[in-house]
Amino acid sequence: MELGQLFHNLGSEVTLIQRSERLLKEYNPEISEAVEKVLTEQSINLVTGATYDRVEQVGDVKKVYITVNGKKKVVESEQLLIATGRKPNTDTLNLSAAGVEVGKRNEILINDYARTSNEKIYAAGDVTLGSQFVYIAAYEGGVVADNAIGGLNKKLDLSVVPAVTFTNPSIATVGITEKKAIEQGNEVKTSVLSLDSVPRALVNRETTGVLKIVADAKTLKVLGVHIVSENAGEVIYAATLVVKFGLTVEDLKDSLAPYLTMAEGLRLTVLTFDKDVSKLSCCSG
């Protein structure tokens, strides 16, 4: 999506094709809907639920043959960009000779201390197939150094990992989705606020987007925050602290948010648990 939008902004006509029925299928549906709306408004073509039949090149034209809802379709283009995900490149390392076990996708298996099945060998980063982000690789690398060289026996704590997709508007999440929270046995309370109730978005005149907060219905602890907005990646850091340190909806209500920032949207979403914020005369007061 990031690269598709980039090429669209550079003037290409872009069609995004994917197998899943909805964009970002692991995310809350509200997030998927907002992103789909944004991309469609920006005139990026979207094809979801596609099965790939074949790809062929005729002259300079690349033809992608797909089936969508039982119907055959052909998408023609000058260039094709295929995003297939990443795979640990461990085949040639002869890890079994060192007694280092790998998983189904050839990822190096580590325990809570980043140690492999060989107690003298540690691993960090994408090769372990955890959350594939550079800040996770850096954090794990630090723990490895502390444990392997410093003998500190530090445990990895990846319970709260923020994630950002750098589309425009950006998509940022931390904590768990409503579905996951319910699956984990929580009784949940959620609040969803459309960006057209956030003053920063109104003055930007870019109101397609959404904020969603998932909280535990009994303790009111915030379990997850999910955002589609300009600067969502900046806003998510506050939410990361909220989730990591177990703050509640009430804590957020009691904390001031500066007017005309996107972060104010967080507080307005909290207030939406109890009232319709579009009726406030000013600010998240």
Ligand X SMILES: Cc1cc2nc3c(=O)[nH]c(=O)nc-3n(C[C@H](O)[C@H](O)[C@H](O)COP(=O)(O)OP(=O)(O)OC[C@H]3O[C@@H](n4cnc5c(N)ncnc54)[C@H](O)[C@@H]3O)c2cc1C
Contact positions toward ligand X, by CB under 6 A? 89, 92-93, 125-127, 132-135, 137, 166
CB of residue 172 to ligand X, shortest distance in Å: 12
Nearest to 30 by CA among 221, 193, 242: 193
Instruction: List phi, psi (to 5°) of 121.
Output: -120, 130
Give the nearest residue (CB) to ligand X: 125
Residue 268 and residue 277 in contact, taking contact as beta carbons nearer than 8 Å: yes
CB of residue 228 to ligand X, shortest distance in Å: 17
- Please tell me what DSSP assigns to residue 114: S
CB of residue 187 to ligand X, shortest distance in Å: 33
Nearest to 230 by CA among 255, 252, 200: 200
Task: For the chain, give the number of residues.
Answer: 285
Closest CB to ligand X among residues 135, 259? 135
Closest CB to ligand X among residues 128, 190? 128
Closest CB to ligand X among residues 3, 202? 3
- Please tell me what DSSP assigns to residue 71: E
Closest CB to ligand X among residues 52, 135? 135
Q: Which helix (H) or strand (E) holds 212?
A: strand 210-216
Compute CA distances 137 → 22, 172, 193, 235, whole Å: 29, 19, 33, 22
> Could you tell me how far CA 223 lies from the centroid of its own chain?
15
Q: Which helix (H) or strand (E) holds 68?
A: strand 61-68
CB of residue 60 to ligand X, shortest distance in Å: 26
Closest CB to ligand X among residues 149, 282? 149
CB of residue 136 to ligand X, shortest distance in Å: 7
CB of residue 124 to ligand X, shortest distance in Å: 6
How are beta strands 222-229 and 210-216 bridged, if at all? antiparallel
Closest CB to ligand X among residues 142, 258? 142
